[in-house]
Chain A
Amino acid sequence: MSDLDDFKATYFDECSELLTELEEQFAAIEAGERTPDRLNAVFRAIHSIKGGGGAFGFSELVAFAHAYETLLDHVRDGRIELSDPVAVLCIRANDLVADFVNSAKTGTKLGAAYGAEERAQFDALSNGGAHGAAAGDDENGPIVEEFDIDFVPVMVNLDGAAAAPVVPPADDSFVSAPLAVEKGHWEIRFAPHSELYARANDPLLLFRELANLGELTVEAKLNEIPPLADFEPFGIYCTWELTLVSPTATAESIGEVFEFVEGNCDLSIAQLSSKNSKAEPSLADLAQIVTPPSAAPVTDAEVESLSFAELAETVKAEAPKRAAPPPPKLVKSAEIDPAPPSLAAEELDDRRAGPDDRRGAGVQSIRVDLDKVDRVVNMVGELVITQSMLTQQMDDTLRAQYQELVRGLEVLAQTTRGLQDAVMAIRAQPVKSVFSRMPRLVRELAQKTGKKIKLETIGEATEIDKTVIEQLSDPLTHMIRNSADHGIETPEKRRALGKPEMGTIRLSAEQAGGNILIAVEDDGGGINRDRVVQVARDRMVIGPDQQLTEEQIDNLIFAPGFSTAEAVSDISGRGVGMDVVLSNIKKIGGSVHVKSRTGLGTRMTLRLPLTLAVLDVMLVKVGPSPYVIPLSSIVETIQCSRADFGRAPSGAKVLRVRGEYVQVVDLAERFELGSGADLANRFVVLCEAEGGVKIALIVDDIIGQQQVVIKSLEENFESIEGIAGGTILGDGNVALIVDVQGLKAPKLHKNAA
Chain B
Amino acid sequence: MDNLAYKDEYGATAQANAQNSLQLIAFSIGEQTYGVEITTVREIRAWNGATPLPNTREYVRGVINLRGTIVPIFDLRARFGEGVTSPTKNHVVVVMSVGEKWVGILVDAVSDILTVSKDDIHNVPEGNSVDTELLNGIVTHESRMVGLIDLHAVVSGAKLDG
A interface residue numbers (CB < 8 A to B):
377-379, 381-382, 624-626, 670-673, 711-713, 715-718, 720-723, 726, 728, 732-736, 747, 750-751, 753
Contacts and interface: CB of A to CB of B under 8 A. Distances in A.
A718 B161 CA distance: 13
| Residue of A672, A712, A716, A750 with highest tally of chain B CB at under 10 A | A716
A673 B52 CA distance: 9
Interface stretch (B3-11, B69-77, B120-128, B141-149): B69-77
A717 B55 contact: no
B55 A716 contact: no
A711 B51 CA distance: 14
Contacts of A624: 52
Interface stretch (B13-21, B33-41, B57-65, B105-113): B57-65
Contacts of B56: 720
Contact of A733 (B51, B57, B162): B51
Interface residues of B, number: 27
B46 to A, nearest CB: 14
B53 A753 contact: no
A716 B64 CA distance: 11
A716 B52 contact: no
Nearest to A381: B68
B55 A732 contact: no
Given A378-B67, A720-B56, 10 more contacts: A379-B67, A717-B72, A718-B159, A720-B55, A722-B55, A728-B68, A734-B63, A736-B53, A736-B63, A753-B57
Contact of B69 (A625, A715, A721, A732): A715
B51 A735 contact: yes
Given A717-B101, A733-B65, A753 B161 contact: yes
B63 A717 contact: yes
| Residue of B54, B62, B67, B158 with highest tally of chain A CB at under 10 A | B54
Contacts of A672: 54-55
Contacts of B60: 717
B154 interface: no
Contacts of B102: 716
Contact of A378 (B68, B103, B159, B162): B68
What is the interface of chain A mostly: helix, strand, loop, or mixed?
Answer: loop
A397 B57 CA distance: 46
A723 B69 contact: no
B49 interface: yes
Contact of A728 (B52, B65, B158): B65
A381 B102 CA distance: 19
A378 B69 contact: yes
A626 B51 contact: yes
Contact of B70 (A711, A721, A722): A711
A625 B54 CA distance: 10
Nearest to A735: B51
B70 A382 contact: no
B64 A734 contact: yes
Contacts of A625: 51-52
A712 B69 CA distance: 8
Interface of B: 49-57, 60, 62-65, 67-72, 101-103, 158-159, 161-162
A543 B124 CA distance: 71
A721 B55 contact: yes
A753 B162 CA distance: 8
A753 B159 CA distance: 11
B158 A726 contact: no
A47 B53 CA distance: 55
Nearest to B66: A716
Contacts of B70: 711-713, 715-717, 726, 728, 734
B54 A670 contact: yes
B51 A734 contact: yes
Nearest to B60: A717
9 contacts: A381-B68, A625-B51, A673-B54, A711-B68, A713-B72, A716-B70, A718-B162, A720-B53, A722-B54
A397 B6 CA distance: 58
B68 A379 contact: yes
Given A718-B158, A726-B63, A733-B49, A711 B69 contact: yes
Contacts of A377: 68
Contacts of B52: 624-625, 673
A716 B51 contact: no
A379 B63 CA distance: 18
A723 B103 CA distance: 19
Contacts of B54: 670-673, 720, 722-723, 736
Given A673-B54, A723-B53, A734-B51, A716 B71 contact: yes
A454 B65 CA distance: 51
Contact of A734 (B55, B57, B65, B161): B65
A734 B63 CA distance: 7
A723 B72 CA distance: 14
A737 to B, nearest CB: 11
Contacts of A381: 68
A716 B72 contact: yes
A736 B72 CA distance: 13
B41 to A, nearest CB: 15
A672 B60 CA distance: 14
Given A726-B63, A734-B63, A716 B69 contact: yes
Contacts of B158: 717-718
Nearest to B98: A716
A720 B102 CA distance: 17
B72 to A, nearest CB: 4
A715 B65 contact: no
Contacts of A379: 67-68
A750 to B, nearest CB: 7
| Residue of B50, B70, B159, B162 with highest tally of chain A CB at under 10 A | B70
A716 B101 contact: yes
Nearest to A753: B161
**Closest 3 CB pairs between A and B?**
A378-B68, A671-B54, A717-B72
A277 B112 CA distance: 83
A720 B162 CA distance: 10
Contacts of B162: 718, 750-751, 753
Nearest to B73: A717
A2 B62 CA distance: 37
A750 B55 contact: yes
A82 to B, nearest CB: 52
A733 B63 CA distance: 9
| Residue of A377, A626, A717 with highest tally of chain B CB at under 10 A | A717
Contacts of B62: 734
Contacts of B68: 377-379, 381-382, 711, 728
Contacts of A721: 55
Contacts of A713: 63, 70, 72
Contacts of A717: 60, 63, 70-72, 101, 103, 158
A750 B161 CA distance: 10
A735 B70 CA distance: 10
Contacts of B72: 713, 716-717
Contacts of A715: 69-70, 101
Nearest to B62: A734
A741 to B, nearest CB: 16
